[in-house]
Amino acid sequence: MSVSFDLTIDDIYEEFEELVDWDERCDYLIDLGFDLPELPEAAKVDEHKVHGCQSNVWLVSEITPSDPPVVEFVANSDAMIVNGLIAVLMALYSGKTPREIIEVDPKVVFAKLGLERQLSPLRRNGLYSMVDRVRKLAVEAEASK
């Protein structure tokens, strides 16, 4: 799986700083979701479904055989705002080594973006379910070294 998504978390921080209120930031997140790589319909199966999300979310990930190995993933949802949150996660985690992923404190990132404050409890639970899936893969990869 080779996924091209060039947005960084610093890019998102910069954009959020320029946007005045949550409505503008939410619109920006929705726009980010339109730029996600497509997940093939054949991948939208229960095996790839992220449980704990209010919306349907499918996430496919792998560890590349590069040196050092990195985690790559692609995910899609049937909800526009969730696709934007997926874009944030891809900027934060995709293309990083397992160690880099493990070392990131997502709560700090989400607080800086205001997601902790603005997302409903159900959306936050779904966001953390996606984080858990990616971090679990990273922990497994790090342990198998």
- Options 32, 53, 57, 87, the catalytic residue: 53
Q: Which of 130, 96, 79 is nearest to 3 (CA)?
A: 96
List all residues 6 or more positions away from 102 whose beta carbon is below 8 Å from its beta carbon. Answer: 135, 138, 139, 142
Question: Is 26 known to be catalytic?
Answer: no
Sequence-distant (≥ 6) Cβ neighbours of residue 131 within 8 angstroms = 89, 106
Closest CA to 81 of 46, 131, 47, 122: 122
Structure tokens at 118: 């603005």
Give catalytic residues, as residue numbers: 53
